[in-house]
Amino acid sequence: MQSFQALVASRTDAGQSISWQELRPQELMDGDVTVRVSHSTLNYKDGLALTGKAPVIRRWPMIPGIDFAGRVVASSHAEFQSGDEVILNGWGAGETHFGGYAQLARVKGDWLVRKPREFSAAQTMAIGTAGYTAMLCVLALERGGVTPARGPVLVTGAVGGVGSIAIALLAKLGFEVIAATGRLEEADYLKGLGAREILDRKELSGPARPIGKERWAGAIDAVGSHTLANALGMTKYGGTVAACGLAQGMDLPASVAPFILRAVTLAGIDSVMAPRQARIAAWARLARDLDTATLSRLTTHHPARDLLQLAPTILAGKVRGRIVLELA
């Protein structure tokens, strides 16, 4: 490849500038594996980076994109060789290291996971960091002893990427899912993924009581702030809440009451720097537990050139499910 297309963000006196550019392979950052990228995706974090709404990018210039899937074209890493199909999620890609919004990427091999044979490259990006995070949340609930027999599980931010895949996973595993959303017009979509009950997010987005009526055995929260506080306050005795997002805010205006009166566990989920073995385990479970027909229903496909138009929509909560971006 003599040159390749990449979306490059630069910092200027006026703020952030971002445009598609033609780069040469020697302009890539250091790494022991070079990947021909075929697909990427758009996560909430990517939307923040592309619009400059939050300081996601910490090195300039930068190729954004926290995910990619593709095929190895060169490697000095012991585990990978030319032709291997691989996935990257996080590890600072799109923040401090050139990310997935380019036709070519060079990264550390230790950051990569082999693509499960059950999925195509496009399907792995339909999952992306959002779906991989959802699986990490499900695993946290299981470690906390949350089972279908103990009661329903709440999923907040239900129409988004994490929420959509979390619902699909939990439903297939036999859980009764309560989906909280501010987009009640999407009730049929959520029920199609497996949700049993639709909850208006207004019931959770205001100030929380120190402790409330026990309503669910566990929760997966991608929203934070008052929503997370309310989710904790209404979790049943011994339940677990997996927190992975901050769409409403980074604060947690909660009481210690759920923790010391109901032995509730708050499990923090980090997808960016999660150990490699945890990633491999999560992708293995996704390959086993995620129905690909359901994944197809919650996915839309776009050329990567649509990114700058799509970014504001994901921040505005107007994206349903997952977006796959085609770079090949």
pLDDT tens profile 37-71: 999 999 999 999 999 999 999 999 999 999 999 99
Indicate if 153 and 71 belong to the same structural domain: no
pLDDT at position 4 is 98
Whether residue 145 lies inside any domain: the answer is yes
Within this chain, do residues 170 and 196 fall inside the same structural domain, yes or no?
Answer: yes
pLDDT interval class at 14 (50, 70, 90): confident
pLDDT over 90 (residue 297): yes
Q: How confident is the model at residue 15 (pLDDT cuts 50, 70, 90)?
A: confident
Say how many domains are in the chain.
Answer: 2
Residue 185 lies in a domain: yes
Q: Are residues 105 and 235 in the same domain?
A: no
Do 242 and 135 fall into the same domain? yes
Q: What is the mean pLDDT of the chain?
A: 97
Residue 235's Cβ-side half-sphere holds a number of Cα atoms within 13 Å equal to 36
**pLDDT at residue number 13:** 84
Asked whether residue 58 is assigned to any structural domain, the reply reads yes
Give the end of a domain, one of 268, 287, 309. 268
Report yes or no: 214 and 234 within 8 Å, Cβ to Cβ.
yes
CA pair distance 88, 78, nearest whole angstrom:
17
Encoded tokens for 194? 């497996």
Q: Examine the domain organization and report whether 208 and 309 are in the same domain.
A: no
In a domain, 289, yes or no: no
Identify whether 25 is part of a domain. Answer: yes
Instruction: State the CB neighbour count (10 A cutoff) for residue 269.
Output: 20
The model's confidence at residue 140, banded by pLDDT at 50, 70 and 90, is very high
**Is the domain of 69 the same as that of 144?**
no
Q: Residue 301: name the closest of 120, 144, 146 by CA.
A: 120
Q: Determine the pLDDT at residue 1.
A: 80
Expressed as residue numbers, the domain containing 57 is 4-115+298-326
State what percent of residues in the chain have pLDDT above 90: 98
| 110 falls within a domain | yes
211 and 96 share one domain: no
On the question of pLDDT at 139 being above 90, the answer is: yes
CATH number at residue 303: 3.90.180.10
Contact present, 2 and 22 (Cβ < 8 Å): no
Same domain flag for 108 and 210: no
- Nearest of 322, 326, 311 to residue 49 by alpha carbon: 311
Residues 14 and 56 in one domain: yes
In a domain, 147, yes or no: yes
211 with 143, same domain: the answer is yes
Which of 250, 268, 286 is the last residue in one of the domains?
268
pLDDT of 107 strictly over 90 = yes
Identify the CA nearest to 125 among candidates 169, 89, 163, 73. Answer: 89
Structure tokens at 302: 């776009």
Instruction: For residues 74 and 80, give the distance between their C-alpha atoms in angstroms, rounded to a whole number.
Output: 9
- Looking at the structure, tell me whether residues 154 and 256 fall in a common domain: yes
What CATH number has the domain bearing residue 201? 3.40.50.720
The reply to whether 219 falls in a domain is yes
Q: Are residues 96 and 164 in the same domain?
A: no
For the stretch 119-128, pLDDT in tens is 999 999 999 9
The model carries a pTM of: 0.95
Provide the pLDDT for residue 35.
98
